[in-house]
Amino acid sequence: MLRAEILKNFEDQNQTTWDFVIIGGGATGLGTAIEAATRGYKTLLLEQSDFAKSTSSKSTKLVHGGVRYLAQGYVDLVREACKERGLLLQNAPHLTKNLSFVIPIYTWWDKLLYTVGLKFYDLLAGKLSLGKSVPISKSETIKRLPTIKKKGLKGGILYHDGQFDDSRLALNMAQTAIENGATVLNYAKVIKLKKDANGKLNGVIFQDTETSKEFETKTKAIVNATGVFADDINKMDHGTDDKTISPSQGVHIMIDKKFCPTDSAIMIPKTSDGRVLFAVPWHNKIILGTTDTPVKQESLEPKPTEQEINFILETARGYMNPAPTRKDILSVFAGLRPLAATKEGAKTKEVSRSHKVITSESGLVSIIGGKWTTYRKMGEDVVEKAEEIMKVPHKKSNTEHLKIHGYRKDIDYKDPMYYYGTDKEKILELSKEIENGNEIISKEQNIIKAQIVWAVKNEMAINIEDFLSRRTRLLLLDQKEAVRIAPIVAEVMAKELGKDEVWQKNEIESFKNIAEIYHTHI
Ligand SMILES: Cc1cc2nc3c(=O)[nH]c(=O)nc-3n(C[C@H](O)[C@H](O)[C@H](O)COP(=O)(O)OP(=O)(O)OC[C@H]3O[C@@H](n4cnc5c(N)ncnc54)[C@H](O)[C@@H]3O)c2cc1C
């Protein structure tokens, strides 16, 4: 996965005609690339920034059917997501796990309601169920959630869902796509769509954002998988400013594990704004979130608002004791949901999370909405629509049981490098070849120097943020620690990429600016 080599190939073989050019390297685009490549199509994926830089690295990290969507009546969506949840846990066991969730119960009516509701949730998962939901006693609830508010507690409901590492999965998906014949490129922004004399799309122009160099390439189909940026590509296609997407912001805060010192997650089914709030153990910390705030402008680095942070802390205060306060926040991050545009005044939390495939007159196939959990099915649907447009015979999908790069069973979660799956041994081997490769640069996440070199050589990392935010997750887990080790990362990267001290200085500065967004000032 070396960008320079891929870009050189473009210069050498600019006569290539792709079957698919996929715009966007988040969950949806990467899922589509795997789907197209494994069907034997010549596939190119272009991502304007880093893989999963946008929404796909800012999720709640749940592979789930969506208990909340069931309560809203989206039965088909939940059934589909439960199936995909089961498949993903089978196909990427090194990045996903079966997690126990507990809903604390304070009224007998809620106990009845959630017991019945979750039984239905179990039923929808069928043979891919992760385990039965059961009502549990007050003492069992306290055993599983020692910090839960005990006053008025009647018991709990225990159920199962999946959990994952979103950006690590995105990277391993990019590698899976490559292993199946696709070409994928980060920092490659599509700036123009090309059409033939009949007005049908037949190519794209993209820019290597590192050098500003432009490349033109031909294709039979173009997939717009750009999430909240979908309307920008629509505008390139048909020139209008129509809004098909209403972004809705979701914020999470990261806190110490002491606020929920077990392996179970807390699920608060009804917050004051009618959403759910999760406290989920992840990489030895707790993620608390999320919010649902409509925003007017899409952005690659959305900013959490004071109101959202306060809302999360206030809601947690109602259920946790001790409850986290502002000074306990280790990091805060925001992501934008690519929701289908709503009518003025409609509530975003009520917009369906199911995905939609839309085609334009010129043949642009756009996929909007959806969830991380259902990326595989979304890829299947969008490739099938493109096959219709290309007027080629429909090929069978091969992805239901396709193992994701790094696939390894029987994971030891105490191993700080577990999330590399089968790549772990290769990194340890590499650590012997480089000076001080085994040196731990952050005790917080047990990060060793060799991981930086690995990320550059094998995971297309080209800057500090790629490494600290998505190859490892330190920026999301502990903002201050990420800023502290940024100069070390810059130094190792510079050596590997052949960059000088000025580059290092600029890189550290630009990382600090981004990291500022993850910092809550008291
Ligand atoms: C707060 C929050 C929590 C969530 N939690 C969960 C969860 O726990 N479980 C779950 O299943 N789902 C969850 N979701 C939903 C899930 O994260 C999203 O549905 C999914 O990540 C969207 O992926 P995407 O690829 O469609 O969009 P994105 O991740 O936004 O990817 C689109 C990509 O297109 C690129 N792009 C844009 N324009 C161009 C261009 N011109 N050229 C090249 N590339 C371009 C962007 O840079 C971007 O990387 C959550 C969403 C949010 C906001």
Q: Concatenated DSSP letters for 332-361?
A: EEEEEEEEEP--TT--GGGS---EEEEE-T
Give residue 452 CA to ligand 1 midpoint distance, Å. 25
- Name the pLDDT band for 16 (thresholds 50, 70, 90): confident
Mean pLDDT of 45-57: 98
Ligand 1 closest atom vs CA 31: 25
What percentage of residues in the chain have a pLDDT greater than 90?
87
Average pLDDT of the chain is: 94
How does pLDDT run across 274-285, given as a tens digit for each residue? 788 999 999 999
Q: Which pLDDT value is given to residue 1?
A: 59
What average pLDDT score do residues 139-166 get?
Answer: 97
Confidence of residue 341 (pLDDT cuts 50, 70, 90): confident
**Neighbouring C-beta atoms of residue 102, cutoff 10 Å:** 23
Give the pLDDT of residue 103: 97
* Mean pLDDT for the stretch of residues 111-139: 95
Residue whose CB lies within 8 A of the most ligand 1 atoms, among 371, 374, 382, for a mutation test = 371
Ligand 1: nearest atom to the Cα of 55: 29
The pLDDT value given to residue 81: 96
pLDDT at 353: 64
pLDDT value at residue 343:
56
Q: What is the pLDDT of residues 390-448, one digit of tens each?
A: 999 999 999 999 999 999 998 999 999 999 999 999 999 999 999 999 999 999 889 99
Ligand 1 centroid from CA 337, angstroms: 7
The minimum-distance atom of ligand 1 relative to the CA of 335 is: 53
Peptide bond into 322 cis (omega under 30): yes
Q: State in Å: Cα 52 to ligand 1 middle.
A: 7
Q: How far apart are CA 175 and CA 30, in angstroms?
A: 10
Cis peptide before 305 (omega within 30 of 0): no
pLDDT in tens, 305-329: 999 999 999 999 999 999 999 999 9
Q: How much is the pLDDT for 213?
A: 95
345 has a pLDDT exceeding 80:
no
Structure tokens at 319: 């259920």
Residues 44 and 22: their CA atoms lie apart, in Å, by 6
Instruction: Return the C-alpha torsion angle 334, 100, 258, 170, nearest 10.
Output: -40
Span 200-257, pLDDT tens digits: 999 999 999 999 999 999 999 999 999 999 999 999 999 988 888 889 999 999 999 9
Residues whose CB is less than 8 angstroms from the CB of residue 304 and which lie 6 or more positions away in sequence, other chains included: 249, 251, 332, 333, 334, 517, 520
Query: 248-265 in b/e burial notation, b at 16+ Cβ within 10 A?
Result: bbbbbbbbeeebbeeebb
452: nearest Cα among 518, 501, 515, 504: 504
Residue whose Cα lies nearest atom 4 of ligand 1: it is: 59
Closest to 514 (Cα-Cα) out of 301, 370, 353, 349? 301
Q: Are strands 285-289 and 245-256 parallel, antiparallel or unpaired?
A: antiparallel
pLDDT attached to residue 522: 63
* Confidence category of residue 162, pLDDT binned at 50, 70, 90: very high
Measured in Å, residue 470 CA sits from the centre of ligand 1 at 14
**Tell me, what's the pLDDT at 11?**
80
Q: In the predicted model, is pLDDT for residue 351 greater than 60?
A: no
Give the count of beta carbons closer than 10 Å to the beta carbon of residue 206.
23
* Residue 147 CA to ligand 1 centre (angstroms): 33
Q: Taking Cα atoms as reference points, which of 147, 154, 190 lies closest to residue 25?
A: 190
Average pLDDT over residues 284-308: 95
pLDDT of residue 150: 96
DSSP type of residue 470: I
Mutate to test the pocket of ligand 1, among 23, 44, 50, 54 (most ligand atoms within 8 A of CB): 54
User: CB neighbours of 159 closer than 8 A, spacing ≥ 6?
Assistant: 67, 100, 101, 103, 118, 121, 122, 131, 133
Over residues 451-501, the pLDDT tens digits come to: 999 999 999 999 999 999 999 999 999 999 999 999 999 999 999 999 999
| DSSP string computed for 183-209 | EEESSEEEEEEEE-TTS-EEEEEEEET
Local confidence band at 142 (pLDDT 50, 70, 90 cut-offs): very high
| 233/46 Cα distance (integer angstroms) | 13
> Counting atoms of ligand 1 from 1, which one is nearest the CA of 300?
47
Nearest CA to ligand 1 atom 10: 372
- Please say if the pLDDT value at position 272 is more than 80: no
Closest CA to 324 of 158, 153, 520: 520
The pLDDT assigned to 194 comes to 98
Least Cα distance to 362 among 213, 235, 189, 491 occurs for 235
pTM of the model: 0.97
Mean pLDDT, rounded, for 75-90: 96
- Is the per-residue pLDDT at 116 higher than 90? yes
- HSE-CB at 144 with a 13 A cutoff on CA atoms is 23
pLDDT for 84 beyond 90: yes
Residue 106 pLDDT level (bands cut at 50, 70, 90): very high
Whether the predicted pLDDT of 354 surpasses 90:
no
> What pLDDT band is residue 349 in, cutting at 50, 70 and 90?
low
